[in-house]
A = this chain, B = another copy of it.
Amino acid sequence: MFLSMATWPEIAQRLQDGKRGIIIPIGSHEQHGPTGLIGTDALCPDIIAREAEKQDDLLLAPPFSIGMAQHHMAFPGSMTLRPSTMIAAIVDWTASLTRAGFDRLYWINGHGGNVATIQAAFAETYAPYSLRGEAAPFAHMLKNWWELPQIERICLDFFPVGHGSHATASEVAVTYWAYPERASLGNVTLNPKIAPNGPIRDAADYRGRFPDGRIGSDPTQATAEIGGKIVSAAAKALITDANQFFAETHG
C-alpha cells in the first residue's frame, strides 16, 4: 500500500486496524560516476521497498528523495539539503506521521552521506520529549538497504573486487534492473578501472580526489540480472526487518 495512492479513509482504517508502522524510503540525488544515475540513492530504497510491498502488507510513504550531498556539488546535477534543513524536514515528516497515529517509522536509506544527518534528526525529534520528561509516542529505525541482514555479504559475493563505496557496483546494478533501458551505460571502460579511495570533505576537495565521481568502485561490473537478485534478496530482508521493528514494544 502506498500513502500516495491511498485515500484518507483507507489510511484511517489501517491505523484503526492497529497497523501503525510505516516505511519511508530516503535517499539523495547526486552524481554516481559516468555510468550511474543521479537518482541512484533515491531509487534503490524505493525499488526495494516497492518489491517488498508486492509481497507483504506494508505501507510506503512517499520517498524523501533529496538528501545531504554537499560533497558532490562540484558535479552538475547533484542536489543537496544543508544538514540543518534536512533535520527540519525530518522533524516535520515525523510530526505529520505521528500526528496521524503512526508510531514506528522505518527509514530505508540509500545514501551513506545521509546517515549522520538522519540520526541527528531523530535526536532532534526525541529531544523535546526528553527535555520535557515525557515519553516520545513513536520510535525511529534507520536501515541502509545494503546493511539489511545478509545483503552486504550478497553484494560482495557478486562483486568481490571493486564493489566500492560510492557509485558501487551493487547500487548501479539495482538501478539497471529497474530501468533496463539505462543498463547500456555500463558498456564502457573506466579509467582507472577501480576508482581511488579517500576521505570525504567539501565538494572541491572531493572532485580533486575522485575526478569522475566514483569512490573505490568499478561499476561497469553491474548488470541488470545481478541487480534483480540483489533486489529480490533485499526485499525479503526488508519485510522481515521492518515487521520485527513494527512488532516491537516500546522500552
Interface size on A, residues (CB 8 A): 97
Tell me if B100 and A76 are in contact (CB < 8 A): yes
Which residues of chain A (53-101) have a CB below 8 Å from chain B? 61-63, 65-66, 68, 70-71, 73-85, 87-89, 91-93, 95-97, 99-101
Tell me if B4 and A31 are in contact (CB < 8 A): no
Tell me if A95 and B62 are in contact (CB < 8 A): no
Question: A28-41: contact bitstring with B at CB < 8 Å (1 yes, 0 no)?
Answer: 01011111111100
Tell me if A34 and B9 are in contact (CB < 8 A): yes
One of A126-134, A144-152, A153-161, A221-229 at the interface: A126-134
CA distance A139 to B203 in the complex (A): 12
Q: Does A206 belong to the interface (CB within 8 Å)?
A: yes
Tell me if A78 and B43 are in contact (CB < 8 A): no
Tell me if B4 and A129 are in contact (CB < 8 A): no
- Given A29-B3, A76-B100, A206:B251 Cβ within 8 A: yes
Q: Does A116 belong to the interface (CB within 8 Å)?
A: yes
Q: Does A123 belong to the interface (CB within 8 Å)?
A: yes
Tell me if A85 and B83 are in contact (CB < 8 A): no
CA distance A78 to B130 in the complex (A): 11
Tell me if A116 and B120 are in contact (CB < 8 A): yes
Tell me if A130 and B62 are in contact (CB < 8 A): no
Which residues of chain A (8-50) have a CB below 8 Å from chain B? 8-12, 15, 29, 31-39, 42-43
Tell me if A35 and B62 are in contact (CB < 8 A): no
Tell me if A136 and B201 are in contact (CB < 8 A): yes
CA distance A71 to B121 in the complex (A): 13
Shortest 6 CB-CB contacts between residues of A and residues of B = A4-B39, A130-B203, A11-B77, A116-B119, A135-B204, A8-B31
